[in-house]
Each structure stands twice: as structure tokens, then as C-alpha cells.
Amino acid sequence: MMQNATRSSSTAESPGGFERYAISILKDLGYRITTPRVEVIRTLARTRKALNAYSIHSDIIGSGGKIDVVSVYRILATLQEAKLVYHLGAVDGYYPRLSTSGDVLITINETTGLINVIQIEEEIIASLRRAAESKGLNPLTLQIESIVRATI
């Protein structure tokens, strides 16, 4: 079911934009737009931190929605396949992806948990790709995660 879909990230960054963006991408890819999918997308759209499936489940239940944790995991897998979320291994959480392309550095503040997604410069990408290729690997995308300490 997964196809290449592209959208401008500026649409996703506007107020309420991630929800519209994600629903549009899912429709383009032929997915049904169900209430549980919309609830997960809305929860992710409101966050500045990576959320795990249990946090998303609790948020939805706490706001009067109905969903089970298994459904949250399935929806997250769909969103990841559609390139609508990042899965951050460093904190085992999910974060909205505002663009379906691009190699990124994702910083996670160790104190606040706030996420910052930074596009990686082309010369750094080229260097990392050469390093991977020297080991016989062909990276499709680069996602670098870093736990950071605020200096302010």
C-alpha cells in the first residue's frame, strides 16, 4: 500500500497542519481515515516530545476517546510506513515527521524531553554515506539521534 508521497513541510508546520498533512498523506496512500487514526495523529500533533504507545493511549483515553494499546501500535506502524512519524530509539518514542524526505539530526533534551529536528547539511550526508558504503551498506535515509544537555 505504501507509495511515494510528497508534500510541502510548510503545510504541516502551520497550526493544525500536521493533522491535515497526515490525513492527506494517508488518503493519498489509500488508507482509511478512522477515528482511532485521527486520535493518534491529533495526540502526536500536540506534542513537542517523543511519545510511546502507552503515553498516546493514556492521552486518548484521558480525553474521552476509546482505543486499545494494540491499535495504537498498529496505527504507529502505519504512520511510520507512510513516513509520517519518526521512531526515536534513544527514548523509544514517536514524533511527528513534517516532511517525507530528508536526512535529519534529531536532538532530545535530556532534561525536558523536547525534540528538535534539524536538516543535515549535504556535505555531512555525503561523508556519512561514503562511510556506510565503505562497509558495504547503502543507507536509504539518515536519521541521527542525539541526547543533548541545554547550555542555557
Please, what is the end-to-end C-alpha distance for the chain in angstroms?
45
Please state the φ and ψ torsions of residue 29, each to the nearest 5 degrees: -90, 0
Tens of pLDDT, residue by residue over 53-73, are 999 999 999 999 999 999 999
pLDDT in tens, 80-127: 999 999 999 999 999 999 876 678 999 999 999 999 999 889 999 999
Instruction: Kindly list the domain boundaries of the chain, sorted by start residue.
Output: 9-94, 104-148
Per-residue pLDDT for 13 more than 60?
A: no
For the domain bounded by 9-94, which CATH number is listed? 1.10.10.10
CA distance 138 to 129: 7
